[in-house]
Chains A and B, each alone.
Chain A
């Protein structure tokens, strides 16, 4: 009777639902995602009302509707980090590796469980946020609806974006091992670097602005496409490539390291 990858996934799922931090992370995702929808919607409406004709033409109610991903991704990142770092903090990593000695399998099982949860729960939160924002925009600015071209792609793409953030967080968790360090890395990657990109020298700002994983990946959540940046799917592919690279590094480190 051999244990399979499916068994490892079921075990990781049982681990995830067995601790409070999972519920807290999900609650934070809901509160941040839906709670910030109203101010984002109001701000979007104001931008539109006070905008120049060019700005009005570039107004993207879908992107405004999904702007809460900036906060939801933090909850998702913490979830992804904790799935790994809590094992190092409590010493259960040894118990886990004794139960599942094939280390790529253990890492893959964690990735499937966390990635899947981020995709589903994150996607639902973004959908809710999108709907709230459209209700807020109503009457003040153009609104988006799910049956308009590319809007559903943007909303579902938001779920994919959050799943990639979660997978990146798992990889960072393996590389860093300590919770505080890994969360800091994820904060820098998702918020600080994007925030400080504009003050970089011009050529560097263009490069970082185009290819930084979250800045490339968030293009999937736009419908009015800016021709100067990557198109939605190329952007998400660039982000996915970053995540694949991080996962590969995590796998190499996990394989080599004594537990």
Chain B
């Protein structure tokens, strides 16, 4: 169990992490999702006591990380797979880690076997591919058989087989009752791996929700096509979110298709098209983080209309 309360990190005038409150529970995979620069890694470093919070607290099993008597038995972390001395062999890297937390040497061979690196254990980490480095980093995280696992962008740069391997490993760890927090900026990956999502944007917690709930949460829209521009004003007047698309159609949120149709009938407006649109997880995520992307691509982020679905970057 990881608990953050009012967790904040300020670098000079930049708020990297802004008052996070969340709980990561055992037995589930929690996805830590957000665009690059959202504060995911900073938060993970604060969990591990590497960065000092400007204010607020974060605890693991109710204890500050630095107060854990043998931290690797409680928490296993993979922050940066390349953080291995290139001149040290895989086994020697794991051996010093094991010694530091009084883990028996035979456990080193066990985890090497587990991640499939036993055959290259004597090779220097400097010659490892990124995929092998990721496996070594995961072996290090598993050394102490910890109840809490933190993986920062574990599938970055991996081939499909490696991605599949990590995905099943992560799911398996959660199934064993462990607390698993996996960060990623890739939503489809999270959709496949995670049960629960913590969505971060510009250091703030935007959503703390089940993966299914995110899609269901009011992100459905209605596509409306009609010649009467005044109808948009009428829909806004009843509280709907309205946004004009490039092709002249309107994207309505906050109203069902039936309600839009009823409103049109009430005002005698002829509709050329009325189409319910189910939001994809991708769109839901983009909507959530739209205002929190630090450097949006495409340059033409559309004018913001209250609650409108789908930003320019979505299509």
Binding site for B on A (CB under 8 A): 1-4, 7-8, 10-12, 14-15, 18-21, 86-87, 90-92, 94-102, 256, 258-259
Contact = CB atoms under 8 A, between A and B. Distances in A.
B66 interface: yes
Interface stretch (B83-91, B221-229, B233-241, B254-262): B83-91
Interface in B29-51: 45, 48-51
Main secondary structure of the interface of A (DSSP, over half): helix
Interface string B63-75: 0011011111101
Contact of B52 (A87, A91, A99, A258): A258
A258 B51 CA distance: 4
27 contacts: A1-B73, A3-B69, A7-B99, A7-B100, A8-B100, A10-B99, A14-B96, A14-B99, A15-B85, A18-B87, A18-B89, A18-B95, A18-B96, A87-B85, A91-B82, A94-B45, A94-B48, A94-B50, A96-B100, A97-B48, A98-B48, A98-B50, A99-B72, A99-B97, A101-B48, A102-B66, A258-B51
Nearest to B87: A19
B102 interface: yes
Contact of B45 (A2, A11, A259): A259
B306 interface: no
Contacts of A21: 87
Contacts of A90: 83-86
Contact of B69 (A1, A10, A95): A1
Contacts of B102: 1, 3-4, 7
B101 interface: yes
A57 to B, nearest CB: 52
Given A19-B88, A20-B87, A99 B101 contact: yes
Contact of B92 (A18, A92, A100): A18
A259 B100 contact: no
B87 A92 contact: no
B66 A101 contact: yes
A10 B99 CA distance: 6
Contact of A3 (B75, B89, B101): B101
Nearest to B89: A18
B88 A259 contact: no
A29 B71 CA distance: 37
A4 to B, nearest CB: 7
A39 B96 CA distance: 41
B125 to A, nearest CB: 9
A99 B66 CA distance: 10
A91 B140 CA distance: 15
Instruction: In the A-B complex, list the 6 residue pairs whose CB atoms are closest, starting with the nearest.
Output: A91-B83, A11-B100, A2-B69, A18-B92, A14-B96, A11-B99
A174 B75 CA distance: 26
Contacts of B97: 11, 95, 99
Nearest to A255: B52
A88 to B, nearest CB: 11
Nearest to A257: B52
B49 A101 contact: yes
